[in-house]
Amino acid sequence: MFEPRILRKGPFHPAAFDLVVTGERWQPGAEYDALVETAWQGRIEAAAARGHRLWDGTHYRFTDIAQASDGLRIDLGTVPFRYLATYRLLHKENAARGLTPTHHISTASMLRTADGHYVFGKRAINGAIDLIGGGFQPEDGVPVCFENNLYKEIAEELGVARADLGEPQGIGIVRSTTSNVLVIAKIETTLTREGILAAFAHRDDDEMAEPVFVPESNIRDYLRSLTDYRVLMAELLN
C-alpha cells in the first residue's frame, strides 16, 4: 500500500491540462494475472450474491506520475479495472513482484450548496462516506477532459445537471493508499440541500445510498475525521 500524499496544490483549471492518450497498457505478467483472475472471479461471485454485476472496463492512468506535479501535459495509459478491484487483496503479492503502481485516475468534487454545505455520498454497499466522483475512463468519450468527467460523475451519483453547477476550480491532485491519483475540484451549485435531495431522487446511478451534508463551518474538522487521501483535503480546501 502507499502513503497518501498531495502531488499538486491548486488553483488550476481542470480543463487546462493537455491530455495525450498514448495507448500504453499496464501489464503485470502471467503469474500476477493468474492471481488476479482468481481474486476477480471471487469479486464477481460476491457481487452476484448481492444482486450486482461488476463493471469490467478500463481506466486511464498516469504513465509518468511526475506529470501530476508539474506542467499541464499528462500522458494517459490504461489499466483494466480488475487490477484495481483486486489490489487490496493482492497488494503484498503486488509489492513482492515490484510491480509499477497503476496510478489510475479519478476525479472528485468538493461540491458546495447555495446554502453553505458541502455534499458527500454514503455508499450503498458498505456505508462509507466519500467525495462525489469516480474513475476517469476511455468510455467517457471525447474530448478527453477532467472537467467533463467531474460533471458526469455529479450527474450520475447525485442527479445534479450541469446547468445547476458552476465552473470547477482545481484545488489539488492527490495519491491514495491504492496509488489512485485523484484530480480534486471545488464546484459551486445553485441548489440548496433541498434541491440536491430532489435531484438525487432522479439520479442515474445507485452507487450512493444518500447524500451527506456538512456545514462549511465544520468542513475541515470533518475531512480530518475521514480516512485515506480524504484527510489531505483539509489542507487543500481554501
pLDDT in tens, 166-179: 999 999 999 999 99
Q: What is the pLDDT of residue 176?
A: 98
Residue 93 has a pLDDT of 97
Q: Report long-range pairs for 62-67 (Cβ below 8 Å, ≥24 apart).
A: 62/103, 62/105, 62/181, 63/22, 63/24, 65/7, 65/101, 65/103, 65/175, 65/181
pTM: 0.95
Angstrom distance (rounded) from CA 236 to CA 53: 35
Identify whether the C-beta of residue 181 lies closer than 8 Å to the C-beta of residue 68. Answer: yes
pLDDT digits (tens, 9 = 90+) for 144-165: 999 999 999 999 999 999 999 9
| Mean pLDDT over each residue of the chain, to the nearest integer | 95
Report how far residue 101's alpha carbon sits from residue 120's, in angstroms, rounded to the nearest whole number. Answer: 28
- Specify the pLDDT at position 193: 98
The burial class, CB within 10 Å (0-12 / 13-18 / 19+), for 129 is: middle
Confidence of residue 139 (pLDDT cuts 50, 70, 90): confident
CATH of domain 5-236: 3.90.79.10
Residues 6+ apart with CB under 8 A from 75: 20, 22, 24, 62, 63, 64, 67
The DSSP symbol for 101 reads P
Average pLDDT over residues 18-24: 94
Q: Is the pLDDT of residue 102 over 90?
A: yes
**Domain limits of the chain?**
5-236
Per-residue model confidence as pLDDT tens digits over 45-70: 998 898 888 889 999 999 999 999 99
The pLDDT, as a whole number, for residue 149 is 95
* 177-220 pLDDT tens trace: 999 999 999 999 999 999 999 999 999 888 899 999 999 999 99
Residue 141 pLDDT > 80: no
Predicted pLDDT at 200: 97
Note the pLDDT of residue 204. Answer: 85
